[in-house]
Amino acid sequence: MSTEDSLKSKFPQGELVFSQFRDNHRIAVPAAHMFDVLAFLKNEHHFDMLAELTAVDYLEYEGARDRFGVVYVLVCTKSGERLVLKTHVNDPDPVLPSVYSLWKSADWLEREVYDMFGIKFSGHPDLRRILTPDEFTAFPLRKDYPLKGRGERHNFPVLTRSES
Phi–psi pair at 119, nearest 5 degrees: -85, 125
pLDDT category of residue 135 using cuts at 50, 70 and 90: confident
CA–CA dist 83, 88 (Å, integer):
17
Domain ranges of the chain: 3-163
Q: Look at residue 56 in the predicted model and tell me its pLDDT.
A: 97
Q: What digits encode the pLDDT tens for the residues 89-102?
A: 999 999 999 999 99
Mean pLDDT score across all residues of the chain? 91
Q: What digits encode the pLDDT tens for the residues 13-22?
A: 778 999 999 8
Q: Which CATH class is domain 3-163?
A: alpha beta
User: H or E segment at 89?
Assistant: strand 82-89
